[in-house]
Amino acid sequence: MSVFYICLSATDRLWIKGQAYRLIERLEASHLLLNEDTRTVHAWNDDDLERLRLAGEIRIERHRLRPTSPPPQVSQVVATQLIAELPQRDRERINRREVYCRRFLEMERAGEAKRSDAAMHRAIAIIHAEMNEAEWLAAGRLAKARHSAGHIVAVRPPPSVRTMRRALKMLEHSGCPGMATAARTNRRAK
């Protein structure tokens, strides 16, 4: 596990092995960087960046890009590919978060939910109950098909209101739903 943590903003340019990159997203243990020459997206984990930094092959130019330029968008194909490379547990978490967001947006369009704290708590509880019921029914059908007595269903806790708001905001402002709900934003202390 790396102790190296690189803090980049949307206006910074990162030079790796003589090629210019700019930040797209900060994930849990890596960065999604856009190669400015080839316009391809690369996921660089913190350990690789630390090795390159120790070798002197990384240079950061602060505030080199115009802040008014829109951030680069990750294509849906690239997002799907990056998510597919994650471990099974992370993929399940991403899919679950996306289901929560999509169901909440449906409830909001139908007038059943609003974005106040109390209304979001109620909506999250309803979505959580619906998801658990669907998992229990699926587990029951699986047990019946296998002629077994039962199947253990892991009940996962629902997201908090704050997590739900952050995921909804990322989902609404991103062209790639899976990557938006996978991303963890980089928060700096003020």
Residues linked to residue 60 through DSSP beta bridges, in sequence order = 14
- 29 secondary structure, DSSP code: S
d(CA 72, CA 80): 16
Asked if residue 131 lies in contact with residue 99, where contact means CB atoms within 8 angstroms, the answer is: yes
Around Cβ 58, how many Cβ atoms within 10 Å? 18
| Banded pLDDT at 168 (limits 50, 70, 90) | confident
Indicate whether 70 pLDDT > 60.
Answer: no
Instruction: Tell how strand 41-45 and strand 13-16 pair up.
Output: unpaired
| Banded pLDDT at 76 (limits 50, 70, 90) | low
d(CA 137, CA 131): 10
Q: What is the average per-residue pLDDT within 21-25?
A: 83
CA atoms within 13 A on the CB side of 177: 10
Of 120 and 1, the one with more pLDDT: 120
d(CA 166, CA 149): 40
**Hey, is 74 helix, strand or coil?**
coil
d(CA 30, CA 167): 19
Asked if residue 6 lies in contact with residue 62, where contact means CB atoms within 8 angstroms, the answer is: no
Of 4, 95, 69, 77, nearest to 40 by C-alpha is 77
- Taking each continuous run of H as one helix and of E as one strand, the counts in the chain are 6, 5
Q: What is the pTM of this model?
A: 0.53
Q: What is the pLDDT of residue 56?
A: 84
The strand order across the sheet containing 58-61 reads: 41-45, 30-35, 19-26, 13-16, 58-61
Residues 94-124: tens digit of each pLDDT: 888 888 999 999 999 999 999 999 999 999 9
